[in-house]
Amino acid sequence: MTHTEGKTALVTGASRGIGRAIARRLAADGVWVAVHYGQRKEAAEETVAAIESAGGSAFPVRADLATDGALDTLFVELEAGLAGRPLDILVNNVGVYADPDDPAAMARDDYVAGISEVTPEAFDRIFTVNVRAAFFVTQRALRLMGEGGRIVNISSAVTRIAWPLLPYAMSKGALEMMAPRLANELGSRGITVNTIAPGITDDTQVNSWLHDMPGAVEGVAGMTALRRLGRPADIAAVVSFLVSDEARWVTGQLVDASGGLALAPTPPGM
């Protein structure tokens, strides 16, 4: 048992990919989920509909966390949806790796660009969404969170390997600094704070290149100890554990959920 029946959660960036999988898993565990989205209303509504069709409870909340005033918008909608109930779980999942409002940047695949190709605008957007938003969403969420709350931040294994996505990796490295410090600060309230670092996960927008580049799936699987790509449900399962009562004695930790990505050089022929 996860002991999460009847709890409430806010999952940012929950309209698709890993965020959607987390929202659906928590709802399956009996959690009432606020499905946050920035611009993709239809995708968020699909997530809510999938949760409700499976017998769970959810509602959408919209806020473009790259814009001014987004926090006020988010928490007005969140508090209206909670209808006086406290917030028990926060999952800071939302993240960007380039500027999606710049079609040229996306076409150039800036997420694999070297330092000379990164624009100040893209850099600022990445840090605004991946770091600043997570920090201030957490700050505001703590006003709604009672004793024994759970906070989980979604980072990335690219903070520990020399992969591309330099500004993205830097932003996720900054995010990882939150957990141990907040865990120490919030421990007196029984609130745990942990970080999960997924590896290269299939069925996500950031990794859509896997199926566009010949041999990429096999190559990444070969770099992974468990010899396959990660799936959103793999990450959602770890979140489910960390927000449960079974993980009540785990806080301030970075949990690698990469399937053993890049543990060692892969021998030829394997």
Active site residues: 168
DSSP string over 175-197 = HHTHHHHHHHHHGGGT-EEEEEE
The single residue listed with the structure tokens 């029946």 is 5
Please return the burial class of 1, using the count of CB atoms within 10 Å of its CB with bins 0-12, 13-18 and 19+. Answer: exposed
DSSP string over 103-137 = HHHHHTTGGG--GGG--HHHHHHHHIIIIIHHHHH
Classified as helix, coil or strand, 153 is: strand
Alpha helices in the chain (DSSP H): 17-28, 41-53, 70-82, 103-107, 120-127, 133-141, 166-176, 178-186, 216-222, 232-242
Rounded alpha-carbon distances, angstroms, from residue 68 to 48, 64, 71, 118, 149: 26, 9, 8, 23, 27
Contact 156, 169 (CB under 8 A): yes
How far apart CA 258 and CA 223 sit, in angstroms, is 11
Element (H, E) at 33: strand 32-37
Name the token pair of 209: 């290149």
How far apart CA 126 and CA 131 sit, in angstroms, is 8
